[in-house]
Copies of this chain bind each other. A is one copy, B any other.
Amino acid sequence: MLVVGELINASRKAIREAIEKQDAEAIQAIAMQEHEAGAHFLDMNAGIFVEKEAEYLMWLVQVVQAVVDGPCSIDSPNPKAIEAALAIHRGTPMINSISLETKRYEKMIPLIAGTDYKVVALCMGDRGMPETAEDRLNIADRLINKLVNRNVPMGNIYVDPLVQPISVNQTFGTAFLKAIELVRDAFPGVNVLCGLSNISYGLPGRQFVNQIFMAMAISRGLNGAIINPLDRRMMANIIVAEAMAGRDSYCMNYLRAFRAKKLEL
């Protein structure tokens, strides 16, 4: 399971303020916590600063990588901002994200083609959000083919089937889960990742809903997630769910986590 830490996102008030004050220590403290909690990549998003996004994204990457020995997920729809961040990023980043939307695809593909970056591939086309599992597979199919043709290896592609709120339509959960299965069955070499907190939008008790939905998604083949790695129960659920999904030989990882008291909540 690839865990991307989601906390360094300027849409969160504390992060926005830290960026505005150029408070490196505040950012670094969160980055270190996410890293220690087990995040493999740290997502960096400065999207709310339209004019200064490139400058701030660079600053975030620099500040974080000064204290964390790990790669970032560069999170922006803006190729100039991504380019700026890539110029100073150490190691192999994740690009979050490309989609099948014509404009976004055309802007982003030159940054990704032929690299060894990991790439989040959103199941979004020019006709907006897909509703059914089959719509998602259809978009994923075309997007994966385009990426592979531009020399992005299958194993670096992280399809995000885009979860929608269950409070809006009670089929949105099952459609998303089915989409994970369809994509994994059709493209065994591809990864499926998501930021699943959208499932609980509009409901109270969101954290609990997200934790349970994670277990269901892992059982369908999800193998990456953009989450808050400081949510101990979420991280524990992932460990248990992976064992139940047959991805943990002899439950070794589960047993190790149990002994390390990571499952005591």
Pairwise interchain contact A251-B171, C-beta atoms closer than 8 A: no
Q: Is A199 an interface residue (CB 8 A)?
A: yes
Q: Is A213 an interface residue (CB 8 A)?
A: yes
Name which of A18-26, A79-87, A135-143, A201-209 contacts chain B: A201-209
Binary contact track A36-75/B, C-beta < 8 Å → 1, others 0? 0000000000000000000000000000000000000000
For chain A, the count of residues having a C-beta within 8 Å of the partner chain is 36
Contact residues of A: prevailing secondary structure: helix
Pairwise interchain contact B246-A173, C-beta atoms closer than 8 A: yes
Per the 8 Å Cβ criterion, residues 143-190 of A in contact with B are 166-167, 170-171, 173-174, 177
Q: How far is the CA of A59 from the CA of B213 in the complex (A)?
A: 43
Q: How far is the CA of A161 from the CA of B203 in the complex (A)?
A: 34
Q: Is A219 an interface residue (CB 8 A)?
A: yes
Closest to A211 in B: B240
Closest to A220 in B: B219
Q: Is A248 an interface residue (CB 8 A)?
A: yes
Pairwise interchain contact A170-B246, C-beta atoms closer than 8 A: yes
Number of copies: 2
Which residues from B are CB-within-8-Å of A255?
203-204
Pairwise interchain contact A244-B213, C-beta atoms closer than 8 A: yes
Q: Is A245 an interface residue (CB 8 A)?
A: yes
Which residues from B are CB-within-8-Å of A213?
244
Pairwise interchain contact B251-A167, C-beta atoms closer than 8 A: yes
Q: Is A241 an interface residue (CB 8 A)?
A: yes
In order of increasing CB-CB distance, the 7 nearest A-B pairs are A216-B219, A173-B244, A212-B240, A174-B246, A215-B215, A170-B246, A212-B215
24 intermolecular pairs with C-beta atoms under 8 Å apart: A166-B243, A167-B250, A170-B248, A170-B250, A170-B251, A171-B246, A173-B243, A173-B244, A174-B219, A177-B219, A203-B255, A205-B258, A205-B263, A208-B236, A208-B263, A209-B240, A209-B243, A209-B254, A212-B215, A212-B237, A212-B240, A212-B241, A215-B215, A219-B220
